[in-house]
Structure 1
């Protein structure tokens, strides 16, 4: 049963992203603000930080593909960006000491890189015509605030869950 705990957790976070978009009012952050929840990606980054680079990248690739198939018209954007940013986060943590503050900051940095990467790809292939300044004001800042709050609130419980997962892996 413990083997299925992590995939179920990430499946729940995947569904939570969709539920947030459907049921939370769009004017929560103000009129004309676009908020994109990245709870799944935040969980994947925390997995990369607290468990291992290998597991983080594997889960990021699997759920990146799932994200592309379910939500995006173009397969490959999240399939590439999720594992790539997870890898970058793991490299950043080779330099920095891992603690709660660093985990939050690096996770928010990863989410920022994801948002900018997706925007640039959408702008490049003409999916959006929003200029960069408008993107920063209308989507980037509200998205970072929401996801930073999620990482702060869910970071400690996820860390505890991941520690139990590591102990279970060692016991096997």
Structure 2
């Protein structure tokens, strides 16, 4: 059963990001801020914490490639960043406690790392010319606030779902 539930959950998160962007544009709030949902990344990090680092990195590779193919012009940015952040997250979770508050804070830090990493790569290959202070003001801070709200709503359901999946894997 876990073979079908986890991919379905992550496919739903992948689609939910796109739906969120389409149905709730920033212009709705009369703002020039850019809100970028990273619900999929939050799911991958909670999966890494509560199921296993191997699953988190594997899902990071699969959905990073899918994200690149569907949303970006350059294949490899998210393909590299998703599993890399999941790997760093797994190493941090070896040191820290695996409670929902710590996982939530580290997930938000992982999203910040993802955003800054993608920005720096885009700046390096000259896709963007936005200076860093403007980037922080119009994209990074609103993105972190949006994803913090999602983490608050989804933390306990993700924790419960992935702990149950871990129990099912151990029992099989």
Q: For 2:80, what is the secondary structure of its paired residue?
A: helix
Aligned residue runs from structure 1 range 1-172, under 5 A: 1-27=1-27, 31-172=31-172
State how many pairs are aligned.
172
C-alpha displacement of 1:165: 0.7
C-alpha displacement of 1:28: 5.4
TM-score (norm 2): 0.97
State the distance in 1 between where 2:30 and 2:162 align.
Answer: 35
Residues 68 and 76, structure 1, Cα contact 8 Å, conserved in 2: yes
Residues 29 and 142, structure 1, Cα contact 8 Å, conserved in 2: no
C-alpha displacement of 1:25: 3.0
After superposition, the C-alpha distances for 1:106-156 in whole angstroms (9 at most, x for unaligned) are: 000000000000000011111111100000000000000000111111010
C-alpha displacement of 1:30: 5.5
C-alpha displacement of 1:38: 0.3
State the distance in 1 between where 2:3 and 2:126 align.
Answer: 42
Residues 57 and 83, structure 1, Cα contact 8 Å, conserved in 2: yes
Residues 33 and 139, structure 1, Cα contact 8 Å, conserved in 2: yes
State the distance in 2 between where 1:49 and 1:165 align.
Answer: 12
C-alpha displacement of 1:27: 3.5
Residues 68 and 78, structure 2, Cα contact 8 Å, conserved in 1: yes
Gap regions ≥5 residues in structure 1:
none
Structure 1 runs of 4+ off > 6 angstroms? none
Gap regions ≥5 residues in structure 2:
none
Structure 1 residues 30, 108: closer, same or farther in 2, change over 3 A? farther
- When the two chains are superposed, the root-mean-square deviation of aligned CA atoms in Å is 1.1
After superposition, the C-alpha distances for 1:62-99 in whole angstroms (9 at most, x for unaligned) are: 00000001111100000000000000011111111111
Residues 36 and 143, structure 1, Cα contact 8 Å, conserved in 2: yes
Residues 100 and 159, structure 2, Cα contact 8 Å, conserved in 1: no
